[in-house]
Amino acid sequence: MSQDKMNRMKILLVISLALLAGHALAQPGGRPSPVELSEARYTTMAPTMQVAGTVVSRSDAFLSAEVDGRLIRVADVGSHVEAGDVVAEIEDTGLRLRVRELSAEVRRAEARLNFLEAELTRFQRLAETNLAAASQIDQTRSERDIAAGDLEVVSSRLDQLEDQLERTRITAPFSGVVAERVANAGERVSVGNRVVRLVNPQSLEVVARAPLNYYRYVRPGDELMITAGLEQRLNAPVRTVVSVGDEARHVFELRLDLDDFLPVGQTVRVTVPTADVREVLAVPRDALVLRGDGIAVFIIDEDNRARRIRVSTGIGEGEWIEVSGPIQEGDRVVIRGNERLRAGQEVSIREG
């Protein structure tokens, strides 16, 4: 017998054995196929749409200079600071010298006021024995009042300078990270110039905008699904809803509290309901089998045999999806091992 003929016989034998094995598995008496099960159940769902959102920090601020001067120190980008820590300093030599000058003026004004107070007291005692004229008392009282006003003015100017001196140190209003340094040490800044950007990465929220048509279906306290990247999904409560649009954008804004850590600025998708919630019969998405003749699920009967039924799908939420067809609440559906399962095949149930 030739070598080619022997090879052809071997190939035919392998094909025959494969067909016999497949036929045996398709028969009710074939080896049970291991599967994992879930149950069809009624649940409440609503049709949804996804809108773009952005992760932002609720504590995100540009800290600006409050006095004119030259920067002598600015915190490095990435520095972690606590509330009250100094993140930048402005040269204060001129202010300190002015404070010394006004302090001397305050002492001089106090001395003159004390002298006039004593003079007024002395003239009043002399007037009791007719040794001082009333005009002297009135003049001294007037000078005393003017000196008291002068002291108040110079003291107020000193307080203002000390406040400006305090503002040469730019402090953090909240704990956070220096995310950006707008000005560097050595540069001169004026009042209102931005110096650093401070962000608290622990106080996060998601800001999203959705069409105004769906405003009535979103309420504060509702939990909406947020999708970050390809796989990360989480639920977040709606903190506030702002139903204000404009002529250019017919959208409303919603903000969701975010407990999970995501980087500030990351784009996410927010699932927003587009209609009222209703009760539907649903199965896990893994129960759906997509083949050439449509969508089906495998139901396992009391004899642990598979029954394939055609279904139509509707709205979905997370891992569950609405189905309609010859399926009832409580039916056991296959969620693992249904890829090669055949109708009538016996199964063995394994724990998930």
> In degrees rounded to 5, what are phi and psi of residue 340?
-115, 15
Q: Are strands 41-45 and 320-324 parallel, antiparallel or unpaired?
A: unpaired
Q: Which two tokens stand for residue 267?
A: 């784009």
CB 209 within 8 A of CB 251: yes
Q: Is the dihedral of CA 251, 252, 253, 257 positive or negative?
A: negative
312/293 Cα distance (integer angstroms): 12
Query: Which residue in 92, 28, 83 sits closest to 59, CA to CA?
Result: 83
Distance CA 137, CA 117 (A): 11
Rounded Cα distance between 220 and 218, Å, is 7
The tokens for 266 are 């990351």
Q: Please report the pLDDT score of residue 252 as a whole number.
A: 92
Decide if 348 contacts 342 (C-beta within 8 A): no
Examine the pLDDT at 201 and tell me if it is beyond 80: yes
Length of the chain as a residue count: 352
What is the average pLDDT across 15-23? 48
Return the ∠ at Cα 74 (arms to 72 and 76), rounded to 5°. 145
The DSSP result for 174-239, as a single string, is SSEEEEEESS-TT-EE-TT-EEEEEE-TTSEEEEEEEEGGGGGG--TT-EEEEEETTTEEEEEEEE
Distance CA 171, CA 322 (A): 55
CA 312 to CA 297: how far, in whole Å?
A: 10
pLDDT (tens digit per residue) in 217-258: 999 999 998 998 877 888 899 999 988 777 778 899 999 999
pLDDT tens, 60-118? Answer: 999 999 999 999 999 999 999 999 999 999 999 999 999 999 999 999 999 999 999 99
**Average pLDDT over every residue of 28-55:** 86
Dihedral sign computed on CA atoms, order 264, 269, 272, 278? negative
Starting at the edge strand that comes first in sequence, how are the strands of the sheet with 69-74 ordered?
169-171, 86-90, 69-74, 188-189
Higher-scoring residue by pLDDT: 75, 278: 75
Q: In this predicted model, what pLDDT tens digit does every residue of 102-159 receive, in sequence order?
A: 999 999 999 999 999 998 888 888 877 776 677 888 888 899 999 999 999 999 999 9
> How far is the C-alpha of 43 from the C-alpha of 317, rounded, in Å?
10
Tokens in use for 32?
């049970």
DSSP-based helix, strand, coil % in the chain, nearest 5: 30, 40, 30
| pLDDT exceeds 90 at position 180 | yes
User: How confident is the model at residue 2, as a pLDDT?
Assistant: 53
Residue 327 CB partners (closer than 8 Å, separation 6+): 40, 281, 283, 297, 299, 309, 311, 333
Residue 73 has a CB neighbour count (10 Å cut-off) of 13
Q: Which helix (H) or strand (E) holds 347?
A: strand 347-349
18-35 burial, b if ≥16 CB within 10 A, otherwise e?
eeeeeeebeeeebeebeb
